[in-house]
Amino acid sequence: MTRPGWLVLEDGSQYAGELVLDAREPVGEVVFNTAMTGYQEVLTDPSYAGQMVVFTYPLIGSYGTRPEFSESRQPAARAMVVRELKDPSHALSEQSLQTFCAERGIGVLTGVDTRALTRRLRREGTLRGVLVDAATDRDAALRHLRGLDLTHIVDAVTTSSSYDCGPEEGPRVALIDYGLKTGITDELTRRGARVTVLPSSVSPDELSRLRPAGVVLSNGPGNPEDLGSCLDTVRAAIEKYPTLGICLGHQLVALSEGGRTYALKFGHHGANHPVLDRDRGFVQITAQNHGYAVDGEALPDGWRVRFVNLHDQTVEGLQHETRPVLTVQHHPEGGPGPHDGAYVFDEFMAMLAGRD
Protein backbone atom coordinates (compact mmCIF):
# COMPACT_ATOMS: atom_id res chain seq x y z
CA MET A 1 0.00 0.00 0.00
CA THR A 2 1.44 3.36 -0.99
CA ARG A 3 1.98 6.17 1.49
CA PRO A 4 3.35 9.70 1.29
CA GLY A 5 7.14 9.80 0.94
CA TRP A 6 10.07 12.06 0.21
CA LEU A 7 13.32 11.99 -1.68
CA VAL A 8 15.57 14.15 0.50
CA LEU A 9 18.79 15.40 -1.10
CA GLU A 10 21.99 16.27 0.70
CA ASP A 11 21.52 19.99 -0.03
CA GLY A 12 18.36 19.87 2.08
CA SER A 13 15.88 19.99 -0.80
CA GLN A 14 13.10 17.42 -0.81
CA TYR A 15 10.69 16.07 -3.40
CA ALA A 16 7.30 14.72 -2.46
CA GLY A 17 5.70 11.62 -3.90
CA GLU A 18 4.02 8.33 -3.09
CA LEU A 19 6.32 5.71 -1.58
CA VAL A 20 5.26 2.56 -3.40
CA LEU A 21 8.13 0.36 -2.19
CA ASP A 22 10.73 0.81 0.52
CA ALA A 23 14.31 0.35 -0.65
CA ARG A 24 16.47 -2.34 0.89
CA GLU A 25 19.20 0.33 0.88
CA PRO A 26 17.42 3.71 0.97
CA VAL A 27 20.54 5.88 0.53
CA GLY A 28 22.44 6.47 -2.72
CA GLU A 29 23.73 8.86 -5.35
CA VAL A 30 20.84 10.38 -7.29
CA VAL A 31 21.26 10.49 -11.08
CA PHE A 32 18.84 11.03 -13.94
CA ASN A 33 18.41 8.88 -17.03
CA THR A 34 16.93 10.26 -20.26
CA ALA A 35 16.08 6.96 -21.99
CA MET A 36 12.43 6.57 -23.02
CA THR A 37 12.53 2.75 -22.80
CA GLY A 38 14.76 0.16 -21.20
CA TYR A 39 13.94 0.75 -17.54
CA GLN A 40 14.54 -2.92 -16.69
CA GLU A 41 17.99 -2.89 -18.28
CA VAL A 42 18.81 0.34 -16.46
CA LEU A 43 17.76 -0.95 -13.04
CA THR A 44 19.82 -4.14 -13.50
CA ASP A 45 22.93 -2.48 -14.96
CA PRO A 46 25.64 -2.96 -12.28
CA SER A 47 27.06 0.45 -13.20
CA TYR A 48 24.09 1.86 -11.25
CA ALA A 49 25.07 0.07 -8.04
CA GLY A 50 24.82 2.49 -5.14
CA GLN A 51 22.61 4.89 -7.09
CA MET A 52 18.99 5.99 -7.32
CA VAL A 53 17.70 6.56 -10.84
CA VAL A 54 15.37 9.41 -11.75
CA PHE A 55 13.66 8.63 -15.06
CA THR A 56 13.00 11.80 -17.04
CA TYR A 57 10.45 10.06 -19.28
CA PRO A 58 7.19 10.46 -17.35
CA LEU A 59 5.53 7.05 -17.95
CA ILE A 60 7.51 4.08 -16.66
CA GLY A 61 6.42 0.43 -16.52
CA SER A 62 3.96 0.35 -19.41
CA TYR A 63 5.38 -2.74 -21.14
CA GLY A 64 6.20 -4.72 -18.00
CA THR A 65 9.31 -6.88 -17.58
CA ARG A 66 10.80 -10.11 -18.93
CA PRO A 67 13.71 -12.11 -17.44
CA GLU A 68 15.85 -11.95 -20.60
CA PHE A 69 15.94 -8.15 -20.47
CA SER A 70 17.92 -8.03 -17.21
CA GLU A 71 21.58 -7.06 -17.49
CA SER A 72 22.62 -8.86 -14.29
CA ARG A 73 21.32 -11.54 -11.98
CA GLN A 74 21.10 -9.19 -9.00
CA PRO A 75 19.47 -5.78 -8.62
CA ALA A 76 21.81 -2.90 -9.27
CA ALA A 77 20.10 0.44 -8.68
CA ARG A 78 18.87 1.03 -5.14
CA ALA A 79 15.72 2.91 -6.09
CA MET A 80 13.86 4.56 -8.92
CA VAL A 81 12.02 7.87 -8.89
CA VAL A 82 9.31 8.40 -11.50
CA ARG A 83 6.48 10.72 -12.42
CA GLU A 84 3.98 7.94 -13.07
CA LEU A 85 4.31 4.19 -12.54
CA LYS A 86 2.16 2.30 -15.05
CA ASP A 87 0.67 -1.17 -14.99
CA PRO A 88 1.89 -3.31 -17.90
CA SER A 89 -0.05 -3.31 -21.15
CA HIS A 90 1.96 -5.57 -23.43
CA ALA A 91 1.32 -9.10 -24.66
CA LEU A 92 4.87 -10.25 -23.86
CA SER A 93 5.02 -8.88 -20.34
CA GLU A 94 5.62 -11.56 -17.69
CA GLN A 95 5.72 -9.38 -14.60
CA SER A 96 4.87 -5.80 -13.62
CA LEU A 97 7.71 -3.43 -12.88
CA GLN A 98 6.36 -2.91 -9.36
CA THR A 99 6.52 -6.65 -8.62
CA PHE A 100 9.95 -6.86 -10.26
CA CYS A 101 11.24 -4.12 -7.95
CA ALA A 102 9.53 -5.58 -4.87
CA GLU A 103 11.26 -8.94 -5.34
CA ARG A 104 14.65 -7.22 -5.58
CA GLY A 105 14.40 -4.63 -2.83
CA ILE A 106 14.43 -1.69 -5.25
CA GLY A 107 12.68 1.32 -3.76
CA VAL A 108 10.02 3.12 -5.79
CA LEU A 109 8.85 6.70 -5.34
CA THR A 110 6.19 7.84 -7.80
CA GLY A 111 4.21 11.02 -8.35
CA VAL A 112 7.38 13.12 -8.22
CA ASP A 113 8.00 16.31 -10.19
CA THR A 114 10.87 14.66 -12.05
CA ARG A 115 11.32 17.69 -14.30
CA ALA A 116 12.09 19.95 -11.34
CA LEU A 117 14.29 17.28 -9.76
CA THR A 118 16.27 16.78 -12.96
CA ARG A 119 16.77 20.52 -13.35
CA ARG A 120 18.23 20.64 -9.84
CA LEU A 121 20.62 17.76 -10.57
CA ARG A 122 21.73 19.47 -13.77
CA ARG A 123 22.28 22.72 -11.92
CA GLU A 124 23.88 21.38 -8.73
CA GLY A 125 25.42 18.15 -10.03
CA THR A 126 25.03 14.61 -8.73
CA LEU A 127 23.75 14.64 -5.16
CA ARG A 128 23.31 11.99 -2.52
CA GLY A 129 19.76 11.27 -1.45
CA VAL A 130 17.60 9.18 0.84
CA LEU A 131 14.08 7.77 0.40
CA VAL A 132 11.95 8.18 3.51
CA ASP A 133 8.40 8.08 4.73
CA ALA A 134 6.84 11.55 4.82
CA ALA A 135 6.60 11.26 8.60
CA THR A 136 10.40 11.21 8.88
CA ASP A 137 12.00 14.45 10.01
CA ARG A 138 14.22 15.99 7.31
CA ASP A 139 17.22 16.32 9.66
CA ALA A 140 16.86 12.67 10.61
CA ALA A 141 16.75 11.75 6.93
CA LEU A 142 19.91 13.72 6.22
CA ARG A 143 21.74 11.86 8.97
CA HIS A 144 21.25 8.67 6.93
CA LEU A 145 23.47 10.14 4.23
CA ARG A 146 26.54 10.18 6.46
CA GLY A 147 26.91 6.43 6.16
CA LEU A 148 26.99 6.33 2.36
CA ASP A 149 30.37 4.96 1.27
CA LEU A 150 30.75 3.69 -2.30
CA THR A 151 34.53 3.24 -2.19
CA HIS A 152 34.29 -0.55 -2.47
CA ILE A 153 31.13 -0.74 -4.57
CA VAL A 154 32.81 -2.86 -7.28
CA ASP A 155 33.35 -5.60 -4.68
CA ALA A 156 29.56 -5.80 -4.31
CA VAL A 157 28.90 -6.44 -8.01
CA THR A 158 31.86 -8.44 -9.33
CA THR A 159 31.62 -12.22 -9.64
CA SER A 160 32.96 -14.13 -6.63
CA SER A 161 34.56 -16.81 -8.83
CA SER A 162 35.43 -17.34 -12.46
CA TYR A 163 33.07 -19.06 -14.89
CA ASP A 164 32.93 -19.90 -18.60
CA CYS A 165 30.28 -19.19 -21.20
CA GLY A 166 29.95 -19.42 -24.95
CA PRO A 167 31.17 -22.09 -27.37
CA GLU A 168 33.77 -24.66 -26.31
CA GLU A 169 35.85 -23.81 -29.34
CA GLY A 170 37.00 -20.41 -30.47
CA PRO A 171 39.42 -17.82 -29.14
CA ARG A 172 39.44 -17.56 -25.36
CA VAL A 173 38.57 -14.09 -24.10
CA ALA A 174 39.25 -13.17 -20.49
CA LEU A 175 36.44 -10.84 -19.40
CA ILE A 176 37.29 -9.04 -16.15
CA ASP A 177 34.11 -8.25 -14.26
CA TYR A 178 33.98 -4.84 -12.56
CA GLY A 179 30.18 -4.81 -12.81
CA LEU A 180 29.55 -6.74 -16.00
CA LYS A 181 26.44 -6.39 -18.15
CA THR A 182 25.28 -9.64 -19.70
CA GLY A 183 24.96 -7.81 -23.02
CA ILE A 184 28.76 -7.69 -23.26
CA THR A 185 29.03 -11.44 -22.79
CA ASP A 186 26.28 -11.98 -25.37
CA GLU A 187 28.05 -9.84 -27.97
CA LEU A 188 31.32 -11.74 -27.51
CA THR A 189 29.83 -15.23 -27.55
CA ARG A 190 27.68 -14.32 -30.57
CA ARG A 191 30.95 -13.68 -32.41
CA GLY A 192 32.35 -17.09 -31.46
CA ALA A 193 34.45 -16.15 -28.43
CA ARG A 194 34.95 -18.63 -25.62
CA VAL A 195 34.54 -16.30 -22.65
CA THR A 196 35.98 -16.77 -19.17
CA VAL A 197 34.60 -14.22 -16.72
CA LEU A 198 37.05 -13.29 -13.97
CA PRO A 199 36.64 -11.40 -10.67
CA SER A 200 37.87 -7.82 -10.49
CA SER A 201 40.57 -8.98 -8.05
CA VAL A 202 42.25 -11.28 -10.62
CA SER A 203 46.03 -10.94 -10.45
CA PRO A 204 48.42 -10.59 -13.41
CA ASP A 205 49.72 -14.11 -12.76
CA GLU A 206 46.22 -15.59 -12.72
CA LEU A 207 45.44 -13.81 -15.97
CA SER A 208 48.66 -15.09 -17.53
CA ARG A 209 47.92 -18.69 -16.52
CA LEU A 210 44.64 -18.51 -18.42
CA ARG A 211 46.59 -17.71 -21.62
CA PRO A 212 43.76 -15.76 -23.25
CA ALA A 213 43.75 -14.64 -26.86
CA GLY A 214 42.46 -11.27 -25.66
CA VAL A 215 41.08 -9.39 -22.66
CA VAL A 216 37.94 -7.32 -22.16
CA LEU A 217 37.70 -4.94 -19.21
CA SER A 218 34.05 -4.47 -18.33
CA ASN A 219 31.88 -1.58 -17.25
CA GLY A 220 31.16 -1.00 -13.58
CA PRO A 221 30.16 1.50 -10.89
CA GLY A 222 32.00 4.04 -8.79
CA ASN A 223 35.10 6.19 -8.97
CA PRO A 224 37.88 4.61 -11.06
CA GLU A 225 40.49 6.12 -8.75
CA ASP A 226 39.23 3.81 -5.98
CA LEU A 227 40.47 0.80 -7.97
CA GLY A 228 44.21 1.30 -7.70
CA SER A 229 44.65 -2.34 -6.68
CA CYS A 230 43.33 -3.41 -10.12
CA LEU A 231 45.77 -1.39 -12.20
CA ASP A 232 48.63 -3.93 -12.25
CA THR A 233 46.34 -6.46 -13.91
CA VAL A 234 45.02 -3.88 -16.36
CA ARG A 235 48.59 -2.90 -17.22
CA ALA A 236 49.54 -6.55 -17.74
CA ALA A 237 46.56 -7.03 -20.04
CA ILE A 238 47.30 -4.12 -22.35
CA GLU A 239 50.99 -4.99 -22.49
CA LYS A 240 50.48 -8.65 -23.45
CA TYR A 241 47.10 -9.09 -25.12
CA PRO A 242 44.66 -7.43 -27.50
CA THR A 243 42.42 -5.53 -25.09
CA LEU A 244 39.04 -3.82 -25.19
CA GLY A 245 38.09 -1.51 -22.30
CA ILE A 246 34.43 -0.57 -21.85
CA CYS A 247 33.20 2.32 -19.66
CA LEU A 248 34.96 1.77 -16.29
CA GLY A 249 37.39 -0.51 -18.12
CA HIS A 250 38.21 2.39 -20.45
CA GLN A 251 38.93 4.64 -17.47
CA LEU A 252 41.14 2.01 -15.83
CA VAL A 253 43.23 1.68 -19.00
CA ALA A 254 43.91 5.42 -18.92
CA LEU A 255 44.83 5.35 -15.21
CA SER A 256 47.09 2.32 -15.64
CA GLU A 257 49.09 4.22 -18.25
CA GLY A 258 49.50 7.34 -16.13
CA GLY A 259 46.44 9.25 -17.37
CA ARG A 260 43.85 11.07 -15.26
CA THR A 261 40.11 10.88 -14.69
CA TYR A 262 37.70 13.43 -13.23
CA ALA A 263 34.10 13.58 -12.04
CA LEU A 264 31.49 14.92 -14.44
CA LYS A 265 29.02 17.39 -12.98
CA PHE A 266 25.97 15.16 -13.45
CA GLY A 267 27.27 12.32 -15.59
CA HIS A 268 26.02 10.78 -18.81
CA HIS A 269 23.01 8.51 -18.32
CA GLY A 270 20.79 7.75 -21.29
CA ALA A 271 20.43 6.17 -24.72
CA ASN A 272 20.76 9.12 -27.07
CA HIS A 273 24.33 10.43 -26.77
CA PRO A 274 25.99 11.27 -30.12
CA VAL A 275 29.58 10.07 -30.37
CA LEU A 276 31.98 10.80 -33.22
CA ASP A 277 34.29 8.02 -34.36
CA ARG A 278 37.20 9.99 -35.79
CA ASP A 279 38.66 6.96 -37.56
CA ARG A 280 35.47 5.99 -39.39
CA GLY A 281 34.25 9.54 -39.83
CA PHE A 282 30.68 9.06 -38.68
CA VAL A 283 28.46 9.78 -35.70
CA GLN A 284 26.83 6.99 -33.72
CA ILE A 285 24.02 7.28 -31.17
CA THR A 286 25.06 5.52 -27.98
CA ALA A 287 23.86 4.28 -24.60
CA GLN A 288 25.83 5.68 -21.67
CA ASN A 289 26.02 5.42 -17.92
CA HIS A 290 28.99 6.97 -16.19
CA GLY A 291 29.85 9.74 -13.77
CA TYR A 292 33.57 10.06 -14.56
CA ALA A 293 35.58 10.78 -17.70
CA VAL A 294 39.16 10.51 -18.93
CA ASP A 295 41.11 13.77 -19.14
CA GLY A 296 41.97 14.22 -22.82
CA GLU A 297 44.66 16.77 -21.95
CA ALA A 298 46.66 14.27 -19.90
CA LEU A 299 47.00 11.27 -22.19
CA PRO A 300 50.24 9.28 -21.96
CA ASP A 301 52.50 8.85 -24.97
CA GLY A 302 51.26 6.43 -27.59
CA TRP A 303 47.56 7.10 -27.06
CA ARG A 304 45.11 9.17 -29.06
CA VAL A 305 41.46 10.11 -28.65
CA ARG A 306 39.42 8.19 -31.20
CA PHE A 307 35.86 8.79 -29.93
CA VAL A 308 34.40 12.15 -28.83
CA ASN A 309 31.07 12.96 -27.18
CA LEU A 310 29.39 15.63 -29.30
CA HIS A 311 27.28 16.94 -26.41
CA ASP A 312 30.25 18.18 -24.36
CA GLN A 313 33.41 17.10 -26.23
CA THR A 314 34.45 14.66 -23.50
CA VAL A 315 36.65 11.67 -24.34
CA GLU A 316 34.58 8.67 -25.45
CA GLY A 317 37.34 6.26 -26.31
CA LEU A 318 41.05 5.77 -26.94
CA GLN A 319 43.19 3.89 -29.43
CA HIS A 320 46.82 2.93 -28.93
CA GLU A 321 49.11 3.89 -31.79
CA THR A 322 51.05 0.62 -31.95
CA ARG A 323 49.41 -1.93 -29.64
CA PRO A 324 46.06 -3.68 -30.26
CA VAL A 325 44.23 -1.81 -27.51
CA LEU A 326 40.92 -0.01 -27.92
CA THR A 327 38.65 1.61 -25.33
CA VAL A 328 35.17 3.12 -25.35
CA GLN A 329 33.39 5.13 -22.68
CA HIS A 330 29.91 4.34 -24.01
CA HIS A 331 28.13 0.96 -23.98
CA PRO A 332 28.59 -0.63 -27.42
CA GLU A 333 26.31 -3.53 -26.50
CA GLY A 334 23.35 -1.17 -25.99
CA GLY A 335 20.93 -2.69 -23.49
CA PRO A 336 19.04 -0.41 -23.43
CA GLY A 337 19.68 1.80 -26.35
CA PRO A 338 20.81 1.76 -29.95
CA HIS A 339 23.35 -0.72 -31.23
CA ASP A 340 25.26 1.70 -33.44
CA GLY A 341 28.48 0.97 -31.56
CA ALA A 342 28.37 -2.84 -31.71
CA TYR A 343 31.04 -2.83 -34.43
CA VAL A 344 33.58 -2.26 -31.65
CA PHE A 345 33.22 -5.96 -30.82
CA ASP A 346 33.95 -6.80 -34.47
CA GLU A 347 37.12 -4.73 -34.29
CA PHE A 348 38.16 -6.50 -31.09
CA MET A 349 37.61 -9.94 -32.62
CA ALA A 350 39.64 -8.84 -35.65
CA MET A 351 42.46 -7.97 -33.26
CA LEU A 352 42.41 -11.54 -31.98
CA ALA A 353 42.47 -12.93 -35.49
CA GLY A 354 45.40 -10.69 -36.31
CA ARG A 355 47.44 -12.31 -33.53
CA ASP A 356 47.03 -15.90 -34.79
Q: Judge whether residue 47 has pLDDT over 60.
A: yes
The residue range of the domain holding 164 is: 154-354
Q: What pTM did the predictor assign?
A: 0.96
124 catalytic residue (yes or no):
no
Per-residue pLDDT of 108-145, as tens digits, reads: 999 999 999 999 999 999 999 999 999 998 888 899 89
Q: Residue 84: which pLDDT band, with cuts at 50, 70 and 90?
A: very high
Domain boundary, last residue among 149, 168, 189:
149
316 and 169: one domain? yes
Residues 181 and 109 in one domain: no
Regarding whether 181 and 129 lie in a shared domain, the answer is no
Does the annotation mark 247 as catalytic? yes
Share of the chain above pLDDT 90, in %: 93
Both 179 and 93 in one domain: the answer is no
Domain closes at, from 149, 173, 202? 149
Give me the catalytic one of 29, 257, 316, 333. 333
The answer to whether the beta carbons of residues 30 and 6 sit under 8 Å apart is no
Active site residue 273: no
Q: Give the per-residue SS3 of the chain.
A: CCEEEEEEECCCCEEEEEEEECCCCCEEEEEEECCCCCHHHHHCCHHHCCEEEEECCCEECCCCECHHHCCCCCCCCCEEECCEECCCCCCCCCECHHHHHHHHCCEEEECCCHHHHHHHHHHHCCEEEEEEECCCCHHHHHHHHHHCCCCCHHHHHCCCCCEEECCCCCCEEEEEECCCCHHHHHHHHHCCCEEEEEECCCCHHHHHHHCCCEEEECCCCCCHHHCHHHHHHHHHHHHHCCEEEECHHHHHHHHHCCCCEEEEEEEEEEEEEEEEECCCCEEEEEEEEEEEEECHHHCCCCEEEEEEECCCCCEEEEEECCCCEEEECCECCCCCCCCHHHHHHHHHHHHHHHCC
Both 161 and 261 in a single domain? yes
> What sign has the CA pseudo-torsion 176, 177, 178, 181?
positive
Phi/psi at 13 (5° precision): -70, 155
Residues 171 and 101 occupy one common structural domain: no
Please count the structural domains in the chain.
2
- Give tens-digit pLDDT for 289-304: 999 999 999 998 999 9
Could you tell me the CATH number of the domain that includes residue 41?
Answer: 3.50.30.20
207 and 267 housed in the same domain = yes
pLDDT of residue 356: 55
Q: Which of 250, 268, 273, 331 is catalytic?
A: 331
Instruction: Tell which of 110, 134, 149 closes a domain.
Output: 149
CATH number of domain containing 224: 3.40.50.880
Residues 138 and 160 in one domain: no
One domain, residues 122 and 159: no
Indicate if 288 and 332 belong to the same structural domain.
yes
Q: Which of 41, 71, 187, 247 is catalytic?
A: 247
Q: Does residue 124 sit in the same domain as residue 210?
A: no
